[in-house]
Amino acid sequence: AQKVTQAQTEISVVEKEDVTLDCVYETRDTTYYLFWYKQPPSGELVFLIRRNSFDEQNEISGRYSWNFQKSTSSFNFTITASQVVDSAVYFCALGGLNFGNEKLTFGTGTRLTIIP
Amino acid sequence: DTGVSQNPRHKITKRGQNVTFRCDPISEHNRLYWYRQTLGQGPEFLTYFQNEAQLEKSRLLSDRFSAERPKGSFSTLEIQRTEQGDSAMYLCASSLTSTRLGEQYFGPGTRLTVT
Q: What is the pLDDT of residue B2?
A: 78
Given a cut of 60, whether residue B100 has pLDDT beyond it is: no
* Mutant choice from A32, A44, A47, A108 vs B, greatest count of B C-beta within 10 A: A44
Q: What is the pLDDT of residue B99?
A: 52
Query: Chain-wide mean pLDDT for chain A?
Result: 91
What is the chain A residue with the closest CA to B36? A106
Where is pLDDT greater, at A30 or A115? A115
Amino acid at A19: V
The verdict on a CB contact (< 8 Å) between B91 and A45 is: yes
- CA-to-CA distance for A9 and A90, rounded, in angstroms? 10
Q: Give the mean pLDDT of B71-94.
A: 95
Check residue A95 and report its DSSP letter: E
What is the pLDDT confidence band of residue A19, given thresholds at 50, 70 and 90? very high
C-alpha dihedral (A69, A75, A76, A77), degrees to nearest 10: 130
Q: Smallest Cα–Cα separation from A33: which of B5, B24, B75, B97? A: B97
CA B25 to chain CA mean position, Å: 11
Q: Smallest Cα–Cα separation from A73: which of A49, A53, A48, A96? A: A53
Where is pLDDT greater, at B62 or A98? B62
Query: Chain-wide mean pLDDT for chain B?
Result: 92
Q: What is the pLDDT of residue A77?
A: 95
Q: What is the pLDDT of residue A53?
A: 87
User: What tens digit of pLDDT does each residue of A45-93 get?
Assistant: 999 988 888 887 788 889 999 999 999 999 999 999 999 999 999 999 9
Where is pLDDT greater, at B100 or A79? A79
B105 interaction partners in chain A (CB closer than 8 Å)? 47
CA distances from B20 to A28, A87, B10, B11, B23 (A): 36, 33, 12, 9, 10
What is the pLDDT confidence band of residue B102, given thresholds at 50, 70 and 90? low
The verdict on a CB contact (< 8 Å) between B42 and A97 is: no
Where is pLDDT greater, at B65 or B71? B65
Q: Give the mean pLDDT of B10-15.
A: 97
Given a cut of 70, whether residue B98 has pLDDT beyond it is: no
- CA-to-CA distance for B87 and B110, rounded, in angstroms? 10
